[in-house]
Amino acid sequence: MELSELVRTLLNKRGIESDEAMAAFLAPNYDSHTHSPFLLEGMDRAVVRILSAITRGERIAIYADFDCDGIPGAAVLSDFFAKIQYGNVETYLPHRDREGYGFHIEAIEALAAREVKLIITVDVGTNATEAVARAKELGIDVIVTDHHEVIGTLPQAVAILNPKISPYPFQHLCGAAVAFKLVQALLIEGRKHSTPHFHDIPVGWEKWLLDLVGIATIADMVPLTGENRALAHFGLAVLRKSPRPGIIALCNCLRLRKNEITEDDIGFSFAPRINAASRMDEPDLALRLLTTRDSQEADKLAMHLERLNTSRKGIVGGVVREAKRRVRERFGADERVVVLGDTDWKPALLGLAANSVMEGRSGIVCLWGRDAQGRLKGSCRSDGSISVVELFANSGDALLEYGGHNAAGGFSVSHERVHTLHEELVLASKDLWNKTKENIESKSDARAALSEVTPALFKELSCMAPFGMGNPKPVFLVTGATVSAVNTFGRTKNHIEVLLSCARTGVTARAFDFFKTADSFTHAPQKGNNVNILATIERDSFRGGLALRIVDIVPAT
């Protein structure tokens, strides 16, 4: 494979150095770069139990998380059962606001009342010891498919399919991918045992489910390396050809060309609308969109999700404006721990709001609100200078529950302790600063003059897609640029557009950012200034051609 020095340099920075490794990265092979589902610990037991339930006609429930991993994963299993013409099955998605994340005993009891004998979870259940025990008491077997970290004792389920607790060669699958592995194994064994309808399914049919797996893999921000890179690569390929009415309807609604869908379209367009279902209404709306075979129903659902997403953006914008006002009033510019809350704020939206409040700040932002059950719950975001989950763990008994990772997390807090939460998190953070911080200042992967930002360069970079966690878009230090205009756009004028030109060559370019204001950068752009831009190179979906997505702006040296 003939590669330019630029691509070789960028791959080397990602730890990909040999010609063989480069070839595998740039041209994934489905058979070579995905693993047997039977390498997951417990897969044999899971398959035997499910095939037994099918043979005996038992009622099966798919219990999935309400996000853009759990819902596509539920759709994977739903499509499988539809394909084998097994109708004694239902899907249960907990309500984000009324129930919250988790495998809930109340839901299990409701499923038992409907004579469910087997529950298959998606993206949840690894740590649900009490819930699985209650299911067992009620005569329900549980098969867990999940990818979350293990905390404490594993539940006594029939099987726990989780790449983090088995000798599986790749630990970073998303929840929907684990559900897909289960479907692969069921098809293999079902054909062997002459289970009804299995022989009617063409070999390889399950690859049509990769559109769902690709959406979840990209949306859940798992590392796009190893097997995930293959799943995302082929998932996008299937998505561009998908006959799924819901995908077609979403593309029509969003004016996207289905045959040109990229990972950015999933991250910025598909995922927010799928998540809007649970944030603003019922998660089943998104599941129906992904599984319906009726194009008219798909059109209606896509439009409904678009309206929900628009409403969600408006509500989040209001929370952000109010939160930023309070930040200005209560916290100094050097305050590194910000904690704010309001009983009128909806917890389901606070992660999005915390992201926006973080812009232009350093440290950590925690926002809390009150859910439909009167519980106080919140979300935290970090700039990387402190680990959110370490902060929570270091806070003693300040929180009732918490979870997350370095950059983001969620928590619940009592009505009594919420009044002192800021002070307690400040104290908890005392010895943690910079412990996990590598370098929050933007770094470039390569330099390019403004005149070098061309379609040829973009095409060269595109061979490294899909981009995401573990394979970030290359950041260029674009030099030789003069600011010719600075504009804001969007309904609330909270997005920035910088028009650039090169006096030496006459080349012009558009640079933009959806989430930052002019004063969020190291150097606020002003007309006539000579600047260097740290940016990724994007296809300009608004005006055609190319554009620069701004990471930072610094004075020209």
pLDDT of residue 436: 42
Check pLDDT > 70 for residue 80. yes
Check pLDDT > 80 for residue 533. Answer: yes
Give me 112's structure tokens: 């038992």
For the chain, domain boundaries: 33-302, 317-429, 446-555
Dump strand ranges (E) for 100-145: 116-122, 141-145
Name the percent of the chain lying above pLDDT 90: 69
Alpha-carbon gap, residue 515 to 268, rounded angstroms:
12
Asked if residue 540 has pLDDT above 50, the reply is yes
454: which 2 tokens? 């061309």
Q: What is residue 514's predicted lDDT score, i.e. its pLDDT? A: 54
pLDDT of residue 26: 93
Token pair recorded at residue 261? 């869908």
Determine the residue type at 406.
N
Residue 308 CA to residue 276 CA, distance in Å, equals 6
pLDDT value at 64 more than 70: yes
Mean pLDDT, residues 14-34: 93
Please give the share of the chain, as a percent, with pLDDT higher than 70: 94
Task: Report the pLDDT averaged over residues 342-351.
Answer: 95
Q: How far apart are CA 247 and CA 215, in angstroms?
A: 11
d(CA 271, CA 265): 9
Q: What is the pLDDT of residue 516?
A: 56
Residue position matching structure tokens 């966690």: 469
Give the alpha-carbon dihedral of 19, 20, 22, 24, to 10 degrees.
160
458/272 Cα distance (integer angstroms): 26
Check if CATH label 3.40.50.720 holds for domain 446-555: no
Average pLDDT rounded to a whole number, residues 502-513: 73
Residue 497 to residue 513: CA distance in whole angstroms: 7
User: For residue 86, how far is the Cα from the chain centroid?
Assistant: 31
Mean pLDDT in residue range 49-71? 97
Q: Is 33-302 a CATH 3.90.1640.30 domain?
A: yes
Compute the Cα dihedral for 257, 263, 268, 269 and give only its sign.
positive
The label of the residue with tokens 């030109």 reads: 501
Which of 110-114, 120-124, 206-210, 381-385 has the least mean pLDDT?
Answer: 381-385
Q: What is the Cα–Cα distance from 426 to 416, expressed in whole angstroms?
A: 18
Q: Contact at 8 Å (CB) between 428 and 411? A: no
Model confidence over 110-134: pLDDT tens digits? 999 999 999 999 999 999 999 999 9
Q: Tell me, what's the pLDDT at 448?
A: 87
CB 212 within 8 A of CB 73: yes
Task: Find, among 219, 292, 279, 280, the residue nearest to 250 by Cα.
Answer: 292
Calculated CA dihedral for residues 233, 235, 240, 244, nearest 10 degrees: 180
**Do 122 and 179 form a contact (C-beta atoms < 8 A)?**
yes
Please list, in sequence order, all residues whose beta carbon lies within 8 angstroms of the beta carbon of residue 493, skipping any fewer than 6 positions away.
none
Separation of alpha carbons 466 and 225, rounded Å: 10
User: Other CB atoms closer than 10 Å to residue 447's CB: what's the count?
Assistant: 11
Specify the CATH class of 317-429 in words.
alpha beta
Contact of 395 with 425, CB cutoff 8 Å: yes
498 pLDDT higher than 80: yes
Mean pLDDT of the chain: 91
45: nearest Cα among 53, 55, 34, 35: 53
pLDDT for 299-324, tens place per residue?
999 999 999 999 999 999 999 999 99
User: 201 vs 50, 138, 176, CA distance in Å?
Assistant: 18, 34, 21
**What is residue 196's predicted lDDT score, i.e. its pLDDT?**
86
